Amino acid sequence: MKEYNNLCFGKAKMIFKDEKIKRIFTKVVLFSSAYIFIPLIFFGIIGYIADRNLKTGPKFMLIGVGIAFVFSNVLLFKKRSFLSKKIKEEVDKITNS
């Protein structure tokens, strides 16, 4: 068991030392943050303006936040699929060489 753990963690350390993999993971974090916050701010502001002009409660702002939630999840799923393939290709290159 100890040998298996050393083998797995040794490969993981080797993979995360690679600069290309680090850049890909950094992109994943940045894209994820942008895909969450940009729609949230955009649809939240639209909802806030609609609430202010129509003199309603936070109804439209909450609807905007809900739309942003769905929209950002769709964007994240699409980007995650693309980046997962890219990461797998890079890891395969590193482990096979």
Whether 84 contacts 56, CB under 8 Å:
no
The whole-chain average pLDDT of the chain stands at 81
Domain count for the chain, please give it.
Answer: 1
Domain assignment of residue 60, yes or no: yes
Q: What is the pLDDT of residue 82?
A: 81
Domain assignment of residue 2, yes or no: no
Task: Say what the pTM is.
Answer: 0.64
Domain assignment of residue 37, yes or no: yes
Predicted confidence band at 58 (pLDDT cuts at 50, 70, 90)?
very high
Q: 22-44 pLDDT, tens per residue?
A: 787 788 788 889 989 999 999 99
Domain assignment of residue 23, yes or no: no
Q: What is the pLDDT of residue 70?
A: 95
Q: 66-76 pLDDT, tens per residue?
A: 999 999 999 88
Q: What is the crossing angle of helices 19-54 and 2-17, to 10°?
A: 70
Domain assignment of residue 77, yes or no: yes
Nearest to 47 by CA among 37, 59, 34, 35: 59
- Domain span at residue 59 reads 28-96
Q: What is the pLDDT of residue 11?
A: 55
Domain assignment of residue 59, yes or no: yes
Work out the burial of residue 61: count CB atoms within 10 Å of its CB; fewer than 13 is exposed, 13-18 middle, 19 or more buried: buried
H or E element: which one contains 59?
A: helix 59-96
Predicted confidence band at 13 (pLDDT cuts at 50, 70, 90)?
low
Domain assignment of residue 33, yes or no: yes
Domain assignment of residue 73, yes or no: yes
In the chain, % helix, strand, coil (3-state, to 5) comes to: 95, 0, 5
